[in-house]
Amino acid sequence: MLVKKDAFGLFSWLGKAKALNIREINSFVAGVERDFIPVYNGISFDYSNGLAEGKVNKLKLVKRVMFGRGSFATLKSKILLLENLFTFN
């Protein structure tokens, strides 16, 4: 279903998963049903915002590590330095 980008297979998979009647799987199925449209779109489309989310996560991590240790200019310099180090290597 995920490899073939068959989003319609999600309906049959949810039915089969519910039929197992396992508490943990039922909880997962309830979450998928609650967020059905984003899950369906995630299977259907080839693109995502994963790259942007990764950059935001890295920025927040560096910001937490530097808390109370410098100004915005220092934070900006550190982020730009890290991006240049990992982009070209």
First to last CA, the chain: 35
pLDDT number for residue 36: 93
Number of domains in the chain: 2
> Is 54 a member of any domain?
yes
Give yes or no: residues 59 and 32 share one domain.
no
Give yes or no: residues 58 and 81 share one domain.
yes
Per residue in 32-78, pLDDT (tens digit) is: 999 999 999 888 888 888 888 988 998 898 888 888 888 888 888 88
Confidence band, pLDDT 50/70/90 cuts, at residue 88: low
> Is 13 a member of any domain?
yes
pLDDT of 11 > 60? The answer is yes
Give yes or no: residues 62 and 37 share one domain.
no
Give yes or no: residues 54 and 84 share one domain.
yes
CA gap 75, 40 in Å, rounded: 38
> Is 1 a member of any domain?
no
The tokens 């984003």 sit on which residue? 38
* Element counts in the chain: helices (H) and strands (E): 5, 0
The tokens 């967020």 sit on which residue? 35
**Structural domain that includes position 59:** 50-88
pLDDT number for residue 6: 86
